[in-house]
Amino acid sequence: MVLIWVVYLQVFFTSFRRQRRPEIIISLGAGFGKQASWFVANLGLEPVFVVDIIVRFETASGIAEAIVTDRTEMSDKDLANPAEATNQGPLSSGSFMSIGNLETLLQRGNVEIGHASEIRGLTITVVAATAAQGMVVGASRHYRLQSSDDGDWYLLATKLHTEQIRGRAGRRDLARRLEDRLG
């Protein structure tokens, strides 16, 4: 009887932890090539607060990393609310937000690349805070640039799923990167 209760409690506890675990998805859509936009979605049951969005551009000449959280392509006159000037903020369960297309991410990050086709690949990392666990978590997805036969190009994800950064070492690395940015 005790063994049955221990197994039951283990199943209950595992299910409870899985439900409270954040699940951040990064996807590319709503267009093709330069016009495609990236979306960040929260598929966890608990809301998360998006702290930062980091983009790492891989080019033939090297690697450039930029924080693209703030929406610098919009002027103060275009904004009805100051919250529209950033992608930072709460993301409730089941909701999503657009973080922009390739050109806007390059502009926000002040990354000097002559032509978008110089980009070999890029990695988008979303850093978020959770109230339920009181820690930073993240998600990361890598894309590579692919040219088509007609000379056009498009971006392809290198993996089917977004990599979740929930482990102790990954969370510590995210926190260190944010602290380094503070000075």
Split at pLDDT 50, 70, 90, the class of 142 is: very high
For 48-104, the pLDDT digits (tens) are: 888 888 888 888 777 877 777 766 655 556 666 666 666 778 888 889 988 888 777
- Looking at residue 162, what DSSP letter applies? P
Q: What is the CATH number of domain 22-182?
A: 2.60.40
Spatial distance between the Cα atoms of 21 and 123, rounded to a whole number of angstroms? 23
Q: What is the pTM (predicted TM-score) of this model?
A: 0.78
Which structure tokens are listed for 126?
Answer: 């979303």
Q: Residue 161: pLDDT above 80?
A: yes
Question: What element of type H or E holds 89?
Answer: strand 89-91
Whole-number mean pLDDT of the chain? 79
Residue ranges covered by each domain of the chain: 22-182
Spatial distance between the Cα atoms of 31 and 33, rounded to a whole number of angstroms? 7
In DSSP notation, 115-155 reads -GGGEEEEEEEEEEEETTTTEEEEEEEEEEEEE-TTS-EEE
